[in-house]
C-alpha cells in the first residue's frame, strides 16, 4: 500500500460479530534494531496500536522481544472481548507467535506435526486386531500375525 501502510485481516474469528476483521495500519515510529510501533488508521474494525521492542538479554542470553498491543473492540460489539472474537486470549496468541518466531530465528524452522502420518489419517485402516479390545478401525482377523 502507499505511504508504507499495511492492510491486515484477522481470520477464523468465532464468537460474536464479524467473521473477519480488517484494518489498515501505519508504522509511526521505528528505531533500527530497537523498536517498531504501529497504529491502525481510518475506520479500522478493531482500533489498535502496538509496538515490538528488541533489546539484549542479560549475560548473553540472546535478545528480548517484547510485544505490546492495545485495542478497542469492533464497533457494534461493545463489551465483547477480543478473546471472544479470536476464540482465544490475545496474550496467549501473541505468546505462541513469539515462541514460533524464536524457533524460526534460532533453528531456521518452526516445530510442527501438521501433515504427519497417523492412524487418524484419511484411509488409515487396522490390519491386525487390537490387543485386548478392538475399538480402532475394523480389524481383519484373518491377517493376525
Partner 1 sequence: MKAACWNGKHNVQVMSVPDPSIINPRDAIVKITTTAICGSDLHLYDGYIPTMEKGDILGHEFMGEVVELGSAVKNLKKGDRVVVPFTIACGNCFFCKRDLWSACDNSNPNAATAEALYGFSGSGLFGYSHMMGGYAGGQAEYVRVPFADVGPLPIPDELDDEQVLFLSDIFPTGYMAAENCNIQPGDTIAVWGCGPVGQFAIKSAFLLGAERVIAIDDVAGRLQMAAEESNAETLNFKDQDIYDKLTEMTGGIGPDACIDAVGLEAHGTTLDAIYDRAKTALYMATDRSHALRQAIRVCRKGGTVSVPGVYGGFLDKFPFGAAFSKGLTFKMGQTNMHKYMRPLLKLIQDGKIDPSFVITHRLALNDAATGYSTFSSDKDGCIKVIMKPNLN
**In contact, 112 and 127? CB cutoff 8 Å:** no
Span of 14-22, 42-50, 75-83, 102-110 interacting with partner 1 by CB under 8 A: 102-110
| Residue 24 exposure: Cα atoms within 13 Å on the Cβ side | 9
Q: Which one of 19-27, 63-71, 74-82, 106-114 is the stretch in contact with partner 1 (CB under 8 A)?
A: 106-114
Q: Which helix (H) or strand (E) covers residue 25, if one does?
A: strand 21-31
| Residues in contact with partner 1, shown as a per-residue x/- string from 1 to 40 under the rule CB under 8 A | ----------------------------------------
* Residue with Cβ nearer partner 1 (43 or 144): 144
56 is a site residue for partner 1 (CB under 8 A)? no
The neighbour count for residue 53, using CB atoms within 10 Å, is 14
User: Scanning residues 77 to 96, which ones bind partner 1 (CB under 8 A)?
Assistant: 92, 95-96
Report the residue from 43, 133, 141, 142 that binds partner 1 according to the rule CB under 8 A: 133
Number of Cβ within 10 Å of residue 23's Cβ equals 21
- Count residues binding partner 1 (CB under 8 A): 42
- Distances 73 to 16, 49, 77, 81, 136 between C-alpha atoms, Å: 11, 12, 7, 7, 45
CB of 36 closer than 8 Å to CB of 51: yes
| Chain positions contacting partner 1, by CB under 8 A | 61-62, 92, 95-96, 99, 102-103, 106-121, 123-137, 139, 143, 145
Amino acid at each position: 500500500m502507499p505511504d508504507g501502510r499495511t492492510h491486515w485481516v484477522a481470520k477464523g474469528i468465532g464468537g460474536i460479530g464479524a467473521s473477519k476483521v480488517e484494518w489498515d495500519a501505519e508504522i509511526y515510529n521505528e528505531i533500527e534494531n530497537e523498536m517498531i510501533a504501529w497504529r491502525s488508521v481510518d475506520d479500522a474494525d478493531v482500533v489498535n496500536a502496538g509496538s515490538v521492542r528488541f533489546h539484549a538479554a542479560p549475560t548473553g542470553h540472546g535478545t528480548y522481544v517484547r510485544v505490546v498491543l492495545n485495542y478497542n473492540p469492533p464497533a457494534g460489539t461493545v463489551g465483547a472481548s477480543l478473546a471472544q472474537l479470536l476464540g482465544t486470549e490475545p496474550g496467549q496468541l501473541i505468546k505462541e507467535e513469539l515462541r514460533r518466531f524464536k524457533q524460526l530465528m534460532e533453528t531456521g524452522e518452526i516445530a510442527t506435526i501438521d501433515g504427519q502420518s497417523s492412524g487418524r489419517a484419511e484411509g488409515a485402516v487396522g490390519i491386525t486386531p487390537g490387543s485386548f479390545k478392538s475399538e480402532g478401525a475394523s480389524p481383519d482377523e484373518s491377517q493376525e500375525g
